[in-house]
Structure 1
Amino acid sequence: MSRTPERGWERPRIGTGTAGGCLEFQRVWNPLRTTTRRSVLKVGALTAGGLTLGLPDLVRLRCNARADVADGRTPRAKSCILIFMWGGPSHLDTWDPKPDAPAEVRGEFKPIATRTPGLWISEHFPQLAERTDRLAVIRSMSHDDPAHLSPAHRVFTGHLAPVVKSDRDGPSARDWPCVGAMLGKLLPPRDALPASVTMPWIVSHPAAPGGRAPGQNGGWLGRAYDPLYVVGDPNAEGFRVPGLEPPAEVGPERLTRRKSLLEQLDGSGGEGAVAAWDRYQDTALQALTSTKVQEAFRIDREHPKTRERYGRHIHGQCLLLARRLAEAGVPLVTVNWHDDRSNFWDTHGDNFNQLKTRLMPPADQGFAALLDDLEARGMLEETLVVWTAEFGRHPRITAANAGREHWPWCYSSVLAGAGVRGGVVHGASDRLGAYPNTDPVTPEDIVATIYERLGIDPNMEVRDPLNRPLPLTRGTPLRAILS
């Protein structure tokens, strides 16, 4: 059973909301541009794209710190694909339409029947409507934080941000490690593949003074546990992940000479020199030059018809790349809604036009193609797919600009695969889509479900930098939708 919301929540009146929106886009800081002369020398510019530490250092730290899964349970899922709809989609206009509500609530979209009897969703999700037999739709997501940044921390970690209800506080060393970081510590290594990949950017919001959302990195575990960040557009011609294959001018012989040079330089420091070309650095080099790793990221190997099914846009191609990474054995792949320079799903104004023209069509096409592809390859039963966001949108439409404001008190998420029962609706919202009527679900519950499906006890004890024993997450797996 899902837990009830925390006591003491203050429910705002439906007629009120927090206004605000994106006025213009500001480029987010890109850690891929950070490098050092030393790291370039180590592998001849073969640094791992997106890792803020050099890959040899990351391998060393992970190998030294790795722990076994606490209870040795058998995982139902080999991988999880987390699809994060940054900005907050309107649940009333996507997964939870209210055709009998007043016009100022129901909006202009019509509901359509789905493959699941009794389940109706928005007319602008026609492909997903034909695939609800594989989906569990949660209509009772709920929390009390109407900001963008702090609830994102909750989605990515299963814990409250250090500062809640805040768009002013970005990432800090006090953040709880994201799920991918925890997987890097708890799960045994799989070949040379990373434990977690995040694409196509580290989510940020130009209207939020804090900039980047907290909870997307290693937090208090340290930067060695950061996910591998793949920044860029997989739909772009000639797309490559920087650092995962040698530059054209660096052949095997030249790479060997550079390795030999590094050994000589580090050898002059005496036995035990920290920067020695030891087995950790050798493992890192294997990762950088691994055929399996390189092939996993080579989306251009996909048949053109497959790429067309996902959609030749950044979101669809990110989902296709996520499938390739899950197939290769990456435990967690996070696909954030991309840097679209158009306010993401944060539809404070012109909500309906934005949804039906630029947001819902690629989301519908990409998610539907991912479900089909996973099933056709026999991967759906071993891959958990989670479609979620930091909140939903206000039940009452803002008359002045046809927008909807932030609304965390009720919204929708969707799960599929890895033993999730398809054709299921879990929980229900009230007649206005304002509050859960039954079975409220928190972001912590979603994170607990991810851990449970991957074979990790969500209640296992971990220790923070002060050596305090803490639960891995404070959520409860959604056993009502799991087989």
Structure 2
Amino acid sequence: MSQKTHNARQRNQQRSRRAFLVASASGFAGLQFGVPQRLAADAPVTAPQLNANSLATGGKAKSVILFFLCGGASHVDTWDMKPDAPAEYRGPFSPIATSAPQIRLCEHLPMLSRQAHHLAVVNSIGASVSTNDHHAGYYYNLTGHEPDSTFLSLGNDRRPYADDWPYIGSVVGARRDGNSSLPNSLTLPHQPSKAPYTRPGQFAARLGVEFDPLYVHASVDDPLKFHAPSLVLSGDVTPDQLRSRQQLLKTLDVARANFENVPAERTWKLHQQRALDLMLSSNATKVFDVASETDATRQRYGASVNAASLLMARRLVEAEVPFITVFWKENEAIKKQCKSAGGWDTHGDNFNCLKDHLLPEFDRAFSALLEDLEQRNLLEQTLVLVTSEMGRTPKIGDPRSGGVGGAGRDHWTHCMSVLMAGGGIRGGQTYGTSDRLGEYPAERPLTPADIAKTVYFASGVDDLRAEDGQGRPYNLLEEGNALTTLF
């Protein structure tokens, strides 16, 4: 793509993204009455054509929880370990037996090892992309679509575009009937990554901004306080005053009736109604009250913001939300040690970062989620998925942290693993293998498209037809096949 072409596209996309991101936040708690920026003229906003029979087949998942380990989790140090590989590959960790004879996990995952009979471990995903970076890794694993050439030419400057392929959570949310006062797709506890480097792939994009996830925020310092912009009234505005303002808004709408047929205006109205419904719903606000959980439950999950987010995800499953995404929130206290943003991007001191910080937090929280869902008879109807944007180099030593002496692992998009549980999945099994060093898929090679199709199958979404803004039909994901043998 030429720089001139990119600049023109960027201008169009920026206009679209303003509506795209502001609408996602639903941030007009005081009911501001400005008319939004129009979407780009060439950006499709038409909702997909829904098939009444689309839920007639498939798995049992009424809800999906996607737990995304931001940064790129090391597959060879967690659930695809290579104890027989040379020392420069295998590292100091040892695998341990689990509650499932087929599954071996890292010794630093003792709690999860007792829940392994719920797991399907998929070890043969080849998500190779030319950029070998986070942006492309997010996009591929969140949409099922291979990144286009702009990811290579722009790198971290590649912004989310309104004509990107949609996030799998947005597709599931669009194809499901809502059974609660909450949106069909919610994301917590943050939106990766810090602006202006927002990760592509996490939005509805060409599917239409009305299917964007609602973002719910929490902080490392106050993990039990979840903040959805749509649930906070500005200043001293009361619900009664808000209802009065809604009546005023309806009056103003009459004066701009000429705009009713403009797609951007219709979309904006949908977001206005979504925000209003959330603010006036006592049931919705109760769902976000994680502090109301018992001390024993909160302690079982752990005290971190990621632990609280998984507990929140369980509450959202109880509220019948179809798709919940938890993006691992980085701990800035370990940024310097791990040579990263403080997440799973362990460029330096990989093994101590995992052993002392990342694995204990993950082990407690994720095992608690599986245990909690099972005890509440929710696991069979909830697909739980753990993924990341990439694996990490099987050979130890990242040049950016001093090579072998820095004990880091660099990005590795050529091979990675995914964990699945619930939603009709048969637990206690592995699928596919990587080679003896964990560098490339060996048996039953897959791509992220296969994982996306498996999520759709588990959710009963079997119709992926849609139409663009000009009424032209297209398929939301032609590549890949559902791993039906897992069910």
How far apart are residue 339 of structure 1 and its match?
Answer: 3.5
Counterpart amino acid of residue 81 in structure 1: I
Q: What residue number does 1:327 align with?
A: 318
| 1:316 alignment counterpart | 307
The match for 2:163 among 171, 174, 184 is: 174
> What is the TM-score normalised by the length of structure 1?
0.81
1:141 aligns to what? 125
Distance 1:268 1:442, change over 3 A: closer
CA RMSD, aligned part only? 3.3
- SS in structure 2 at match of 1:189: coil
Find out whether 1:255 has 2:242 as its counterpart: yes
Quote the residue 2:4 is aligned against. Answer: none
State how far apart, in whole Å, the 2-side matches of 1:345 and 1:33 are: 26
Q: Could you list the runs of 5+ residues in structure 2 that have no partner in the other structure? A: 1-16, 38-44, 398-403
Offset, 1:300: 1.7
Confirm or deny that 1:392 pairs with 2:376.
no
The amino acid across from 2:204 in the alignment is: G
Residues 73/359 of structure 1: CA separation in 2 closer, same or farther (3 Å cut): same
Classify the secondary structure of the residue corresponding to 1:415. strand
| Residue 156 of structure 2 is aligned to residue 159 of structure 1 | no
**Contact 1:157/1:178 (8 A) holds in 2:** yes
Shift of 1:428: 1.4
Cα shift at 1:205:
7.2
The answer for the alignment partner of 1:124 in structure 2 is 108
Write the deviation string for residues 267-307 of structure 1: whole angstroms up to 9, x where unpaired: 55579878899999667533321122212222122112111
CA distance, structure 2, for counterparts of residue 149 and residue 292 of structure 1: 36
The equivalent residue for 2:370 is: 371
In structure 1, the residue matched to 2:230 is 243
Supply the distance in 2 between the matched residues of 1:265 and 1:157 (Cα, whole angstroms).
39
**8 Å contact 1:448–1:473 — kept in the other structure?**
no
Relative to 1, partners in 2 of residues 1:303 and 1:66: Cα closer, same or farther, differing over 3 Å? farther
Kindly provide the CA deviation profile for residues 226-260 of structure 1, in whole angstroms up to 9, marking residues without a partner as x: 11011223853544433325468333433343334
Is the 8 Å Cα contact of residues 414 and 440 (structure 2) preserved in structure 1? yes
| Aligned partner of residue 325 in structure 2, secondary structure | strand
Partner residue in 2 for 1:102: 86
Paired position in structure 2 for 1:463 = 467
Give the whole-Å Cα distance in 2 for the aligned partners of 1:376 and 1:39.
37
Aligned amino acid, residue 213 of structure 2: P
Q: Are the structure 2 counterparts of residues 220 and 149 from structure 1 closer, same or farther at C-alpha, using a change threshold of 3 Å?
A: same
Partner of 1:305: 296
| TM-score for the superposition, normalised by structure 2 | 0.80
Structure 1, gaps ≥5 residues long: 1-28, 54-60
The answer as to whether partners of 1:91 and 1:97 remain within 8 angstroms in 2 is yes
- Is 1:338 equivalent to 2:338 in the alignment? no
Superposition pairs of residues 56-95 of structure 1, within 5 angstroms: 67-69=50-52, 71-74=54-57, 76-95=60-79
Could you tell me how far apart the structure 1 residues matched to 2:203 and 2:32 are?
A: 22
269-278 vs 352-361, which moves further: 269-278
Q: Answer yes or no: is 1:429 the counterpart of 2:434.
A: yes
Q: Equivalent residue of 2:462, what SS?
A: coil
Structure 1 counterpart SS, 2:315? helix
What is the alpha-carbon distance in structure 1 between the residues aligned to residue 239 and residue 417 of structure 2?
51
1:300 to 1:31, Cα distance in 2 relative to 1, 3 A: farther
* Aligned length in residues: 435
**Is 1:46–1:246's contact at 8 Å kept on the other side of the alignment?**
no
Measured after TM superposition, the shift of residue 381 of structure 1 is 0.2
**Residue 449 (structure 2) aligns with:** 444
Structure 1 counterpart of 2:240, which letter?
Answer: E
Matched, 1:293 2:284: yes
Task: Please list the CA deviations of residues 414-464 of structure 1 after superposition, one character each: whole Å capped at 9, or x if unmatched.
Answer: 100011111101111222111222111211111111111111116x33334
Compare the two structures and name the one with the higher helix fraction.
2
Shift of 1:78: 0.4
1:19 aligns with none
1:479 partner amino acid:
T
Q: Structure 2: how far apart are the matches of 1:264 and 1:170?
A: 38
Other structure's SS at 1:429 match: coil
Shift of 1:149: 0.8
Native 8 Å contact 2:392 2:409 kept in 1:
yes
Amino acid of the structure 2 residue aligned with 1:153? Y
Measured after TM superposition, the shift of residue 222 of structure 1 is 3.1
Whether 1:196 and 2:185 are equivalent positions in the alignment is: yes
CA distance in 2, matches of 1:409, 1:65: 33
